[in-house]
Chain A
Amino acid sequence: MKTVSKMVVINTKLFVREFEGFFFTMIFPIIMLLIFGSIYGNKASDYFGGFGFVDVSVPAYIGIIIAITGLMSIPISIASDRERGILRRYRTLPGGATKVMISWVLFYYLVTTVGTAGLIVTGKLLYGLRFTGNALLVFFLYSLSTIAFLSIGFLLASFMRSARSANAIGMSLLFPMMFFSGAIIPMQNLPLSIKQISVYLPLTYVVDIMQKGWFGGSMSQYGTDLLVLSGIIVVSFLIVRFKFRW
């Protein structure tokens, strides 16, 4: 426990000191909200079912924060530690693999949550963000989504040889997901051909579940999302368990 808490603290310090990860998780989503928020505002409209642009976008952007952590932060940071031989050194420590893995999960969950909180606070303060869901349920849906993307992150990290390749692969997964999952462009505006791709993008289910939860959708509406996200967690866990290299 002592080790895990120290490791989380050190990871946090490194995260702030190295800045790139910090920027993309903490600052970039807020900048996005400020840009689009200043263009579209947050006036309630029929188009958004009686809500405003910001109301609909914040739960979707939370999905983007989650995706950045899973697709970029985790694989890049782990691949770069592996490249430098840091992971091998950790493995020589008593309980090394388990303690380090637990610390990573906690740390990245924490980072994503702080980024999400920053986004919500910004939306609330600047645009009077509306929320009509059940906070506890949304927190659960958020946590499930985050764990699903953390799993994808560790899955990618298991196979990345270098930080450079992790970066390239992360980008090429993140960008299509951002645009084709309904996170930036609402799903109903996407052409049918794109929608066929969306079905295969994990972020689609996160954006869907977050938006439905945010506006108090009933539990029966989440069936597919819950199933897909849980499936991702189970499959990734099994692969990571056997394929992760230190």
Chain B
Amino acid sequence: MILKVNNLKKHYGDVKAVDGISFSVKKGEIFGILGPNGAGKTTTLECIEGLQHHDEGDIEIFEKKMTVNDDFFKERMGIQLQESSLPPRMKVWEALDLFSSFYNKNVDWRELLVKLQLEDKKNNYFSSLSGGQKQRVFVALAMVNDPEVLFLDEITTGLDPMARRQMWNVMKTIKYAGKTVVMSTHYMEEAEYLCDRVMIIDKGKVIADGTPGELIDRMGMKNRVIIESEEKIDVEIFKTIKSVLDISVEKGKIEIEGKDTSVLADIARIINDRKIKANIQYKTANLEDVYLHLTDHFNEEVI
């Protein structure tokens, strides 16, 4: 384990931003922290990065107890902050050159620029870059010291779909290079695509953790068939199918949950036999379903 967090707590006045979070991250994995705005993602990250003092709990990183503002940890971490920037008139190469000079250990930042497809932006002012390019500069800056762990806080928030895909590729490359990444995001497809393991937090508490696959399995909402039709369909006809778990009707849409994929074939056969004109959609659950289900559920409980 390269990072172990145990019972982390941080409050601002009466607000418990982080309320007893525990998790650990293995070397070489991409670990995702998911949760709605204000869930405590950034506070958790900033406590680990040593930017904020935490009130309770232990943080162990690189097999050492973390202490705030300690160069031992700074030398080994790569940090990108959610709300940060560079002076507008600083050129890309100047920022990389400057940031590199702070560290004992360096990689050649020119190579980083090539890897992050920023080579032709080397002499551009920071302010002239697009959102995606700026974020890639931040990733480059976080990597000038060849860090063992990289912390990325909502690195793709606000990017257009293309720029986001590009960032995903960057992160895959980082993973293949053997780096450990701890990232926060509220894009579930991103977490599903990139993360080896995720932790969903809400109101400062962990509400689920595991691999994206495990979380989806645990939900048991893997196979759903949605039937839309202008004709009136009696839902009783589907109850003969063995693998059906649940049937619900909402706004003329019939939603059937099945144990496995065979449910789709059975439904299609019945609809075909009765010559019903209908539009059939098959959906497997994804992380987004898990997330929405959990965060909703959690909110209800609190209220």
Contacts and interface: CB of A to CB of B under 8 A. Distances in A.
Note whether A and B form a binding pair. yes
Interface of A: 2-3, 6-7, 10, 13-14, 17-18, 81, 84-86, 88-89, 91-97, 99
Given A10-B90, A94-B71, A89 B81 contact: yes
Contacts of B51: 88, 91-92
A60 B261 CA distance: 87
B102 A94 contact: yes
Classify the secondary structure of B's interface with A: loop
Contact of B74 (A10, A13, A18, A92): A92
Nearest to A99: B102
B99 interface: yes
Contacts of A6: 97-98, 101
The 7 A-B pairs of least Cβ separation, nearest first, read A85-B84, A84-B85, A93-B102, A17-B89, A94-B71, A3-B101, A94-B74
A96 B77 CA distance: 14
Interface residues of B, number: 25
Interface in B90-109: 90, 94, 97-99, 101-104
A52 to B, nearest CB: 41
A85 B101 contact: no
A88 B46 CA distance: 11
Given A2-B101, A3-B98, A85 B85 contact: yes
B214 to A, nearest CB: 33
B81 A94 contact: no
B298 to A, nearest CB: 30
20 contacts: A2-B101, A3-B101, A3-B102, A6-B101, A7-B98, A10-B94, A10-B98, A14-B90, A84-B87, A85-B81, A85-B83, A85-B85, A88-B51, A89-B79, A91-B51, A92-B74, A92-B79, A92-B81, A94-B103, A95-B71
Nearest to B76: A94
Interface string B28-50: 00000000000000000000011
A82 to B, nearest CB: 11
Nearest to A103: B98
A79 B264 CA distance: 61
Contacts of B98: 3, 6-7, 10
Contacts of B69: 91, 97
A86 B86 contact: yes
Given A91-B51, A93-B102, A96-B102, 19 more contacts: A2-B101, A3-B98, A3-B101, A3-B102, A6-B98, A7-B98, A14-B87, A17-B89, A84-B85, A85-B81, A85-B83, A85-B84, A86-B85, A86-B86, A88-B51, A89-B79, A91-B69, A92-B81, A94-B103
Contacts of A93: 74, 99, 102-103
Contacts of A92: 49-51, 74, 77, 79, 81
B89 A14 contact: yes
Contacts of A94: 71, 74-75, 102-104
Contacts of A17: 89
A92 B97 CA distance: 16
Contact of A13 (B77, B94, B99, B102): B94
Nearest to B78: A92
Interface string B214-258: 000000000000000000000000000000000000000000000
B84 A81 contact: no
Contacts of A3: 98, 101-102
A92 B147 CA distance: 13
B89 A18 contact: yes
Contacts of B84: 84-86, 88-89
Contacts of A86: 84-87
Contacts of A10: 90, 94, 98
Contacts of B50: 92
Contacts of B74: 92-94, 96
Nearest to A11: B87
A89 B87 CA distance: 11
B46 to A, nearest CB: 9
Nearest to B101: A3
A119 B49 CA distance: 47
Interface centre among A6, A88, A92 (most CB of B within 10 A): A92
A97 to B, nearest CB: 8
Contacts of A99: 102
